[in-house]
A and B are shown apart, each in its own frame.
Chain A
Amino acid sequence: MSRQTTRFDAKKVNSELLTLTYGSFVTQMLRDYENVDDVNKQLERIGYNMGMRLIEDFLARTSATRCLEMRETADKIQNAFRMYLNVQPTIANWSAAGDEFSLIFDNNPLTDFVELPQDLTNLRYSAILCGCIRGALEMVQLEVQCWFVQDQLKGDNNTEIRVKFIRRLEDAIPAGED
């Protein structure tokens, strides 16, 4: 495992670079679409497409095995956030059925220098994260729903992403895996 961590360090970049790039990206989209709901939708869609590709990177680096239980999935998502954003969300608020949990972030690197203007209170600034989780899990045959419950940008104490298991995509499971 030491090999992988050293490889990671070599590729580290300053998170401010990501924060600023993402910020300019969102503002450009606001200019292009002029409609906050469309921007929310597009951010989520872009995240979904990113997740579909990023999952391979995650699997190739961590040699993770298939999750057969939501708690395992939650652990891996937490791990992925540490790998890609260098933040470790807390996993909390499990539903009684064990099919729903929250990822709670003390700070969200995407929003480091961000203040939402009055007229953009509907904007889900970090919607890309939800899309990413959804896209990545879909590639490993888990259908989930993913949305923001709390957002520090909107005055809440924490940022909270809720993840809800919908179903396993049985017919998409590759042969020799089911």
Chain B
Amino acid sequence: MIIYGVYIVSKSGGLIFNHDHNIPRIENEKTFSYPIDLVLDYDPKKVSVVFGQKDGINVGHVLVSINGIMANGGTLEDGRDVKAVIEDANNYPLNLKFSRPRMTTNEKIFLASMFYPLFAIASQLSPEPKSSGIEVLEADTFTLHCFQTLTGVKFMVIAEPHQTGLDILLRRIYELYSDYVLKNPFYSLEMPIRCELFDNKLQALLEQVEKGTTALIEK
């Protein structure tokens, strides 16, 4: 079983915890000569590939560095503009490194608060009365399992597709949450979870789960 991430959303819909687990980092470095055979989109926040996928550099990947100098959005770390560097023929050959974009914390908070109304809509759209909200969401590259407690806290696990047995994992995470978060006197309810013990226990649990589902039963 491969787990990609764990998210906890509070009763009021805010993301209070997220943990990325085991996301493969795809990075590709290649030396280009002028003119560059990729179509790039120069956004002030990131430079991404729009067209011209090849050698593992896919559409959607973002520029990480030029000649080993990190790119920070549209500018390089040494202050030069990315677009100017790439379009200047005198700079070539250029060594460009691309990688799959990673979600920033802000984007995660945004997505978590987006899932909240979706969950509520699902329960209202239901043809049967008294429906729960979304419990499983499947896509071709992942499944999202959501467990809402009676008090309204949502636990979400993102795993590889067609994965079963995640409901047990969610219950175990709930137990960890009630032990290591709520019994921590310095944690105030509804606030982001910054408890090292919880992180450690969760990490251990996920590792145990990845070794095999039977290990779930053991504490």
Residues of A whose CB lies within 8 Å of any CB of B are: 3, 7, 52-57, 59-61, 63-66, 139-140, 172-178
Closest chain-B Cβ to A36's Cβ sits at a distance in Å of 26
Could you tell me how many residues of chain B have their Cβ less than 8 Å away from some Cβ of chain A? Answer: 27
**A175:B120 contact, CB within 8 angstroms:** yes
Q: How many pairs, one residue from A and one from B, have CB atoms within 8 Å of each other in the complex? A: 65
- Given contacts A53-B189, A60-B174, whether A140 and B122 have CB atoms under 8 Å apart is no
Bound: A7/B217 CA distance, A? 12
Can you give 12 A-B contacts (C-beta < 8 A)? A53-B178, A53-B182, A60-B177, A66-B150, A172-B152, A173-B152, A174-B151, A175-B119, A175-B123, A175-B133, A176-B120, A177-B150
Instruction: Collect the chain B residues with CB atoms within 8 Å of residue A63's CB.
Output: 171
Measured CA separation A176–B120 after assembly (Å):
6
Interface residues, chain B, with chain A CB atoms under 8 Å away: 11, 119-120, 122-124, 130-133, 148-153, 171, 174-175, 177-179, 182-183, 189, 217, 219
Q: A56-B149, A177-B132 are in contact. List 8 more A-B contacts (CB 8 A).
A: A57-B183, A59-B149, A60-B149, A63-B171, A65-B150, A176-B119, A176-B148, A178-B130
Tell me the bound Cα distance from A32 to B123 in angstroms: 50
Residues of A within 8 A of B123 (CB): 175-176
Assuming the contacts A63-B171, A174-B11, asked whether A57 and B179 have C-beta atoms less than 8 A apart, the reply is yes
Complex Cα distance, B133 from A175, in Å, reads 7
A59 touches B151 (CB 8 A): yes
> Are A60 and B148 neighbours in the complex by a CB distance under 8 Å?
no
Contact A57 B217 (CB under 8 A): no
Q: Hey, which chain B residues are within 8 Å of A61, CB to CB?
A: 175, 178
Which chain A residues border B119 with CB–CB below 8 Å? 175-176
- Assembled-state Cα–Cα distance A116/B98 (Å): 74
